[in-house]
Amino acid sequence: MKKIVMAGFAAAMLAFGAINSAVVGNAAPDPSHVAGQIMVKFRDNGAAAGVLRQHGLSDGPGIGDTGARLIKVPEGKELQLVQALSRNPAVEYAEPDLVVTPATNDTYFPRQYALQNTGQPIDNTLDKRVMAAGTVDADVDAVEAWSVTTGSGVKVAVLDSGVATDNPDINPQVVDRANFSSSATRGKDQVAEDYYGHGTHVAGIVAAIADNGRGVAGVCRGCTILAGKVLSDSGMGSTSALANGINWAVSRGAKVINISLVVGASVTLESAVNNAWNAGVVLVAAAGNGGNENIFYPAAYPNVIAVGATDNKDLKASFSTFGPSWVDVAAPGVNVYSTFPNHRFALASTYSRSQGYDVGNGTSMSAPIVAATAALVWTTPAGTSSASVRTKLESTGEKVTEMQEFWAHGRVNAYNAVK
Ligand SMILES: [Ca+2]
Ligand SMILES: [Ca+2]
Ligand SMILES: [Ca+2]
């Protein structure tokens, strides 16, 4: 149920909104206004409830310090009610809540429904439709969150298959690398390279450079990445490598560790997890892609936030592992758009993915959205400890009715978590 814009992007967009123009931004046929709500300012707020009642409406919350109120209306009746209310002398103005898109100038931002869902269909890099139109605002409200914080200065460790050195939308965000995997390969500059592709995709979801005219935008666009390579070039890993990666991330100052990996239970792994948590690090892990309630680690450890997957209609992804007793939150994980290496990588042939940018599917894609949200929270007043960040993130999740039985705390909402 959210509005639009954030302050950061172009006063021009806000100005457009104020004069009530149609679709702002690119010419895509997105819905021009948010369904189910309008903005109304009364000359005298004392009259608000009575006027609204005449139209069968209830009063709503104020919108910042604008004096306007956000009023819920039946879907499809937005413009009709705007007109009717505008004629009422007690109303200073009424206007639709316009959808502003794109929110960044990143080429593929319109495909990042997870960040801002305007009900758009999703294409992959080859312009092949991969996802039908979604539900407006079935997203984590990343754009709105950026009006509060972009997570500047927070380090997120991505323990995965490495991060490609040749994708300019994510490589510059990587501030440190280490290799704990069984692959001794070296890429450009002799650093651990990603020849599998998974880690580059996960890292891009967290922190791809926003507003640089290319590619995608990370949910924590101001974050930096610690790229711990714990998966080999063929995507194989070990709990010892993962435990080493966790330990390294803590030593390098990570505030959040993302683990889009699932393994069996391991005393060593849980020790590494607990050490990181006790050192003040938030750990986030994919719940798994089993489509059932079978438990995976490290997500199931108490000190790790377990993340399930949703789609662009705010429904549970069919493949997502679930279970409100241990899956804490959910985030979009179906056709999530992000960065890939610009060289040959294993996932490209396995799943027909393009170099550069393409979609990924799995709770592996959901976890980094949550990790990035945790990173944003670290920069807010709630960011005093790993426990306070986790509590804020979980307590502000959206309890989507259709998914109540799947996760403990709903689908994350970055704006709710930071505001
Ligand atoms: Ca939204
Ligand atoms: Ca970008
Ligand atoms: Ca857990």
Which residues carry out catalysis? 160, 198, 364
Q: What is the distance in A from the centroid of ligand 1 to the CA of 34?
A: 9
Distance in Å, CA 182 to ligand 3 centroid = 27
Cβ-in-10-Å burial (0-12, 13-18, 19+) of 33 comes to buried
Average pLDDT of adjacent 10-residue blocks, the chain of 419 residues = 32 27 30 83 91 94 90 93 94 85 81 94 86 93 94 97 97 97 78 94 98 97 98 94 97 98 94 97 97 96 98 97 97 98 95 95 98 98 97 96 93 96
Task: Write out the residues surrounding ion ligand 1, Cβ under 5 A.
Answer: 2, 137, 139, 141
Residues 53 and 162 in one domain: no
Question: Which of 359, 283, 340, 302 minimizes the C-alpha distance to 111?
Answer: 359
Q: How far is the CA of 286 from the centre of ligand 3 (A)?
A: 10
What pLDDT, on a 0 to 100 scale, did the predictor assign at position 295? 96
- How high is the pLDDT of residue 115? 97
Answer yes or no: are the C-beta atoms of 202 and 158 closer than 8 Å.
yes
Domain end marker among 41, 69, 101:
101
Please give the pLDDT value at position 186. 75
**Could you tell me if 268 and 326 lie in one domain?**
yes
CATH, residue 31: 3.30.70.80
Q: Is 225 part of any domain?
A: yes
Choose the final residue of a domain: 78, 101, 124: 101
Helix (H, G, I), strand (E, B) or coil at 388: helix
Residue 116 lies in a domain: no
Q: What's residue 100's pLDDT?
A: 58
The CATH number assigned to the domain holding 185 equals: 3.40.50.200
Same domain, yes or no, for 82 and 160?
no
| CA–CA distance, 230 with 266 (Å, rounded to integer) | 16
The residue type at 345? F
Compute, in angstroms, the gap from residue 111 CA to the centroid of ligand 2: 12
Say how many Å lie between the CA of residue 307 and the centre of ligand 3: 9
The answer to whether 140 touches 393, Cβ cutoff 8 Å, is no
Of the ligands numbered here, which is closest to the C-alpha atom of 357?
Answer: 2
Q: How far is the CA of 99 from the centre of ligand 1 (A)?
A: 9
Please state, in angstroms and rounded to a whole number, the distance separating the CA atoms of residues 21 and 36.
18
Of the candidates 136, 133, 141, which has an alpha carbon nearest to the alpha carbon of residue 117? Answer: 136
Q: Which helix (H) or strand (E) holds 275?
A: helix 267-278
Task: Show Cβ contacts of residue 90 under 8 Å, excluding neighbours closer than 6 positions.
Answer: 42, 43, 44, 47, 48, 51
Count Cβ atoms within 10 A of the Cβ of residue 7 and give its class: 0-12 exposed, 13-18 middle, 19 or more buried. exposed
Q: Please check whether residues 196 and 337 belong to one and the same domain.
A: yes
Give the three-class secondary structure for 102: coil
Q: Are residues 256 and 361 in the same domain?
A: yes
Strand partners, 63: none
Listed residue (222, 368, 206, 398) closest to 284, CA to CA: 368
Give φ, ψ of 188 to 5 degrees: -50, 145
Q: Please tell me the distance between residue 107's alpha carbon and the centre of ligand 1 in angstroms.
A: 19
Residues 370/329, Cβ–Cβ less than 8 Å: yes
Q: Which ligand minimizes its atom distance to the CA of 305?
A: 3
For residues 191 and 306, membership in a common domain is answered with yes
- 248 is a domain residue: yes
Cross-strand pairs, 295: none
CA of 142 to the centre of ligand 1 (A): 7
CA 98–ligand 1 middle distance (angstroms) = 12
Closest ligand to C-alpha of residue 216 is 2
For every residue of 173-223, DSSP letters joined together read GEEEEEE-SS-----GGG----SSSHHHHHHHHHHPPPSSSSS---TTTT-
Identify whether residues 399 and 272 lie together within a single domain: yes
In a domain, 180, yes or no: yes
Distance CA 357, CA 46 (A): 53
Q: What six digits make up the tokens of 361?
A: 């599917």
In this structure, the answer to whether residues 40 and 184 fall within a common structural domain is: no
Distances (CA, A) of 15 to 20, 21, 98: 9, 9, 12
Under DSSP, is residue 11 helix (H, G, I), strand (E, B) or coil?
helix
Q: Are residues 299 and 366 in the same domain?
A: yes
Point out the domain boundary residue: 101, 134, 165. Answer: 101
Identify whether 134 is part of a domain: no
Structural domain of 347 = 142-418
The ligand with the least distance to the CA atom of 146 is 1
Nearest ligand to the C-alpha atom of residue 210: 2
Same domain, yes or no: 178 and 308 = yes
**Co-location of 93 and 165 in the same domain:** no
Query: Distance, CA 340 to ligand 1 centroid (Å)?
Result: 25
Other CB atoms within a 10 A radius of the CB of residue 244 amount to 19
Give the Cα separation of 112 and 360 in Å (integer). 11
Q: How many domains does the chain have?
A: 2
Residue 120 in any domain: the answer is no
* Ligand lying nearest the CA atom of residue 209: 2
Tell me the Ramachandran region of residue 76: left when phi exceeds 0, alpha when psi lies from -120 to 50, beta otherwise: left
Do both 22 and 155 map to the same domain? Answer: no
- 373 CB-near residues (< 8 Å, 6+ apart): 140, 145, 219, 220, 331, 393, 412, 414, 417
For residue 398, list its beta bridge partners: 411
In-domain check, residue 122: no
What is the predicted pLDDT for the residue at 201? 98
Write the DSSP string, 34-95: EEEEEEEEESSGGGHHHHHHHTT-----B-TTSS-EEEE--TT-HHHHHHHHHTSTTEEEEE
**325, part of any domain:** yes
